[in-house]
Amino acid sequence: MIDKFGRKIDYLRISVTENCNLKCIYCIDENNILNSCNNDILTDDEIVKIATECARLGIKKIRITGGEPLVRKNIESLIYKLKCINGIEEIYITTNGVLLHTKIEDLKKNGLTGVNISLDSLNKDRFKKLTKFDKLQDVLLSIDKALELGLKVKINTVIVDDINKDEIIDFVNLTKDKNLDIRFIELMPIGAAKNYKGTSNEEINKNFKNIKVENKSKRSGPAKYIRIDNYKGKIGFISPISSCFCEDCNRIRLTSTGFLKKCLHYNYGVDLKKHIRSNISDKDLNELIYSNIYDKPQEHLFMEDCDNKENKYMNQIGG
């Protein structure tokens, strides 16, 4: 469907839990997560019901996120049910990769198209410092298993000043022999991240000044890509802060508690769980989703003061 600014909306991100098996310092507030563990989240049937109406409105691609989506019980069967919805062509997952190697074969059998794996350090000790868990080996194993199975693999990396800036080239070097893309995502000032200073993609780009790159500058989704000559994978830059891509935004978000969010930055949206549990008809649900998508804000204003800013933490929204 087309929103009021003429953007085609065909991508739904579904957060299936707020819980996570890592505690990344810029993502989760540990006190907050303890409270939110008990939140009443959508059931599989409720998620499928909402996704079905979204598909009727033109959603073609779904991404499952969280919290950590792989800690949700029976995530494999939820993925299968979503993939069976008429109109859904692709289904992806964004994961920290810790549990992925134990589930990936079933996920693929059930229709998963590809995985984005979040990874901010290739150094064991630093990984532990950033995430509070000693799980780097599991993540690396998951990356290799996903590649072995022929899934599309993208690594999402957030570079934070004073923490992991010295690893930029190590991450880039992953694209040399492995058929994966690495994407640098600028840190957005949401939740716990307000306490950290992200490194801009302009600054990261300076690393490529003296390297011969093939410029795949055509944007694919929010990312702009380059490739180093003779390297297998691409290097992507997602720059919500230094180069806003709202004019091409094609997505909406459903939180695990059933709130349909119009934009990452604002708290605008609608509590679909409340309506579903009051037995709203499919037709009325469809209209409610339509009117909310139609009315998506024009752009985020992360760096400005404004009303209705989102106060949730990233693990509650799904990134």
Q: Which residues bind ligand SAM (CB under 6 A)?
A: 20, 26-27, 65-66, 68, 94-96, 118, 156, 158, 185, 187-188, 190, 193, 314-315, 318-319
Q: How far is the CB of 224 from ligand SAM (least distance, A)?
A: 16
Cβ neighbours of 123 (radius 10 Å)? 14
Q: Do residues 292 and 284 touch, judged by C-beta distance below 8 A? A: no
**Given the complex with ligand SAM, which of 20 and 57 has the nearer CB atom?**
20
| Angle 133-150-142 from CA coordinates, rounded to 5° | 10
- Provide CB contacts within 8 A for 289, sequence distance 6+: 50, 53, 54, 57, 260, 270, 272
Beta carbons of 179 and 300 less than 8 angstroms apart: no
| Ordered alpha helix ranges (H), 95-251 | 100-109, 124-131, 136-148, 168-177, 201-205
Nearer of residues 74 and 215 to ligand SAM, judged by Cβ: 74
Minimal CB distance residue for ligand SAM: 319
Q: Smallest gap, in angstroms, from Cβ of residue 140 to ligand SAM? A: 15
Q: How far is CA 264 from CA 269, 286, 308, in A?
A: 10, 22, 11
Closest CA to 300 of 268, 256, 255, 278: 268
Residue 110 vs 156, nearer CB to ligand SAM: 156
CA distance 295 to 204: 35
**Pairing relationship of beta strands 251-254 and 90-95 according to DSSP bridges:** unpaired
Please identify, using beta-carbon distances, which residue of 57 and 130 lies nearer to ligand SAM.
130
CB of 216 to ligand SAM, least distance (A): 22
Q: How far is the CB of 94 from ligand SAM (least distance, A)?
A: 4
Q: Which is nearer to ligand SAM, 65 or 205 (CB)?
A: 65
Measured from the CB atom, the residue of 142 and 315 that comes closer to ligand SAM is 315
At closest approach, how far in Å is the CB of 184 from ligand SAM? 10
Nearest distance in Å: CB 158, ligand SAM: 5
